[in-house]
Amino acid sequence: MKPLIKKENVKPLFESKFIKVFDLQYEEGKHYFDATRRPLENIAAIKSDADFRQMLPDAVTCVVILNIKNEEPKLLLTKEYRYPAGQFLLSPPAGLLDAEDVASENPLLSAAKREITEETGIIPGERDSFFVINPLLFSSPGMTDESNALVCGIIYLEDTSCLNQDGAVGSECFDGFTLLSVSEAKEILKAGRDSDGLFYSVYTWAGLMYFVSDLWR
């Protein structure tokens, strides 16, 4: 059984528009710290078991599989600049849930389709299918309650001429796409690095694994 952390024992240490840090006093004189995007009333640490099981993630990460005419299926990844790493890293399309997504009938699929269009230029069509792989995965619960859902998008294209990154917003910065066959994805998994010798995020690893496992079929 986890320690029960009461709202009155949570103290804000730092707050800005994009990140907050809370002191979680789980026993008298004992403190744990949580870096989060969430306001105090919505942090995971103080949720009841029922609310915890129903909570939405902060963001979605998209496993985008392209079925291009006369080609084998390809996993679509981007090269996105990740500021804390200081590098363009191999990344799946991803982004935060907007208020409009939260208010929609299916928040995770709403956010996924929007992010795919913004970051790849692809406008989902009637043949394309979307489904949730995992509704909420914590990024690193030892220091943050930040979380992502994993959503798969299987998309049919005549060719790749529609691909663009013109929809980047805010701090987003991209440097092209990487389309991987199953064999190429396996090589990156084995190497633990991309084709430029750079490391990548655990969500990229999850996307690669899901693609090569054929669970999406």
Residue 190 lies inside a defined structural domain of this protein: yes
Q: Are 150 and 134 a contacting pair, CB within 8 Å?
A: yes
Each residue's pLDDT tens digit, 161-174: 999 999 998 899 99
pLDDT at position 2 over 80: no
The single-letter code of the amino acid at 20 is K
Please report the pLDDT score of residue 63 as a whole number: 98
40: tokens are 């105090």
Same domain, 91 and 118: yes
Same domain, 117 and 17: no
Show the domain range for 145: 59-213
Residue 94 lies inside a defined structural domain of this protein: yes
pLDDT at position 25 over 70: yes
How many domains, in total, are found in the chain? 2
What integer is the mean pLDDT of 3-14?
A: 91
Residue 2 lies inside a defined structural domain of this protein: no
Please report the pLDDT score of residue 4 as a whole number: 78
Same domain, 45 and 67: no
What integer is the mean pLDDT of 198-202?
A: 97
Each residue's pLDDT tens digit, 34-62: 999 999 999 999 999 999 999 999 999 99
96: β partners: 59
Burial class (CB in 10 A: 0-12, 13-18, 19+), 153: buried
Cα–Cα distance for residue pair 201/150, rounded to 1 Å: 14
